Amino acid sequence: MSTQDHRKPLRARASGPLKGSIRPPGDKSISHRALMLGALAIGETTVEGLLEGEDVLATAEAMRAFGATVIRDDGGVWHVKGLGVGGLLEPDKVIDYGNAGTGVRLAMGLAGSHGFATTFTGDASLVGRPMGRIFEPLRRMGVQILARSGDRLPATIEGPEVPVPIEYRVPVASAQVKSAVLLAALNFSGTTTVIEPIPTRDHTERMLAAFGAAIETTVADDGVRTIAIDGGADLQAQKIVVPGDPSSAAFPIVAAAIVEGSDVTVENALLNPTRIGLIDTLVEMGADITIDNRRSVGGEEVGDVRVRGSRMKGVAVPPERAPSMIDEYPILSVAAAFAEGETRMEGIGELRVKESDRIAMMVAGLKANGVDVDEGPESIVVRGSARPAGGATVATSLDHRIAMSFLILGLGAANPVTIDDESPIATSFPAFRDMMTGLGARFESVDGD
């Protein structure tokens, strides 16, 4: 590595049983939305348990750039003084969203209903990700968009003189696309309808309703959801309590499942049905998981997830489950590496356009660590063993979930597993290393690998 290289390699070694309780950080999806709706509401919204990771801090900064007051008090509660629907102000700088795909896509929806130009950009990962899926419906609503290569960041978004409420059938299962359209529609008179053939996480709809938006969801017999929103309603400030992120909880959960003798409780994890596909899958694989203390926090169900180490067996994950665990396939493929037999993950093409091409990254890293794995255009198939070999260094390509997944592999593999850079973990789970070490995980920094 050159002296210019700021990457921080980290190594994970086979660990003894993991024991103890942890509270995962606040849910990333809910945290972004809380700051955004707070910025559009009248009055002061408070947010407890906000995820203070880089992605969400980029949204805090973006809402400040749009004129909202966003501060954190000494007790860790965030306060957002909003500007009212349609009240955002023209930013005097380019909004750099770093690594945050959800943040930028939702914020482009917000900006798209305001009559000034906003320019968005991001890091090397984000500028490579497709944005056409957001531009297409926004353009149909009359929004003007100029973008690099037609569908990449940097992009400049300017709201329409005459907005057009639309009926939009979401062509890919994406909560980000659905949310961008709903957030733009909030400020357009008339009814916009989003049709969702495959349900995705519903935090935007829940939170918009809680803030007082005129939004209604109907579910047809075949499961297709129709979400209608009338623009123009005022939003009222709320007190929000953010539950623990199931997508972050996934890492200690799988770690405890694969390391023999472990007994770990992940407290206060969000159990929204649109987010718990991983737990359902691990249970089908024979993982020893119980959920206690189910309760409601801020309109969402949460619970304490207790996991004990156990031998698992491979399963075929139904493709229709993908949206409820879309961010969990990297760590599921690590669990599969320790399961007896074959685990088939199909219908997961969306993984190729996340923070990295997660199909390619997982397949390459697992192979390098001695795991028997096949790659398809939209699938990963893993044939597990009691103890994968490990021993390799893997690239993380600015992808936090790839980084954490391979560290968890190292906790159970026969030989240490090294990632080339732990820095991306700070985007979603800054306390990952400390929390995992507290449970007994063996991680060590590596100088100049």
Instruction: Name the residues that contact ligand S3P, by CB under 6 A.
Output: 29, 102, 174-176, 179, 201, 326-327, 350
Q: CB nearer to ligand S3P: give 102 or 343.
A: 102
CB of 134 to ligand S3P, least distance (A): 10
Is 438 annotated in a binding site? The answer is: no
Is 129 annotated in a binding site? The answer is: yes
CB of 397 to ligand S3P, least distance (A): 16
Catalytic residue among 304, 327, 399, 420: 327
Q: CB nearer to ligand S3P: give 369 or 405.
A: 405
Is 176 annotated in a binding site? The answer is: yes
Is 81 annotated in a binding site? The answer is: no
Q: CB nearer to ligand S3P: give 179 or 369.
A: 179
Classify the phi-psi angles of 89: left when phi > 0, otherwise alpha if psi is within -120 to 50, otherwise beta. Answer: beta
Q: CB nearer to ligand S3P: give 102 or 418.
A: 102
Query: Does residue 395 contact residue 360 with C-beta atoms inside 8 Å?
Result: no
Is 178 annotated in a binding site? The answer is: no
| Vertex 443 angle, CA 441 and 449, to 5° | 160
CB of 198 to ligand S3P, least distance (A): 10
Task: Specify which residues 296 forms β-bridges with.
Answer: 301
Is 449 annotated in a binding site? The answer is: no
| Active site annotation includes 280 | no
Q: CB nearer to ligand S3P: give 114 or 401.
A: 401
CB of 270 to ligand S3P, least distance (A): 12
Is 169 annotated in a binding site? The answer is: no
Is 391 annotated in a binding site? The answer is: no
CB of 327 to ligand S3P, least distance (A): 5
Q: CB nearer to ligand S3P: give 136 or 350.
A: 350
Query: Does residue 333 contact residue 343 with C-beta atoms inside 8 Å?
Result: yes
Please identify the residue of the shown chain whose CB is closest to the bound ligand S3P: 29
Rounded to whole angstroms, the Cα distance separating 57 from 63 reads: 10
Is 87 annotated in a binding site? The answer is: no
Length in residues, the chain: 449
Strand 10-13 vs strand 417-419: parallel, antiparallel, or unpaired? antiparallel
Nearest residue to 238 via CA among 65, 42, 423: 42
Cis peptide, bond prior to residue 165, ω within 30 of zero? no
CB of 352 to ligand S3P, least distance (A): 11
CB of 175 to ligand S3P, least distance (A): 3
CB of 260 to ligand S3P, least distance (A): 31
Q: CB nearer to ligand S3P: give 174 or 238.
A: 174
Q: CB nearer to ligand S3P: give 109 or 160.
A: 109
Is 358 annotated in a binding site? The answer is: yes
Name the binding residues for 3-phosphoshikimate: 28-29, 33, 174, 176, 327, 354
Name the binding residues: 28-29, 33, 101, 129, 174, 176, 327, 354, 358, 401
Name the binding residues for phosphoenolpyruvate: 28, 101, 129, 176, 358, 401
The residues carrying an active-site annotation are 327
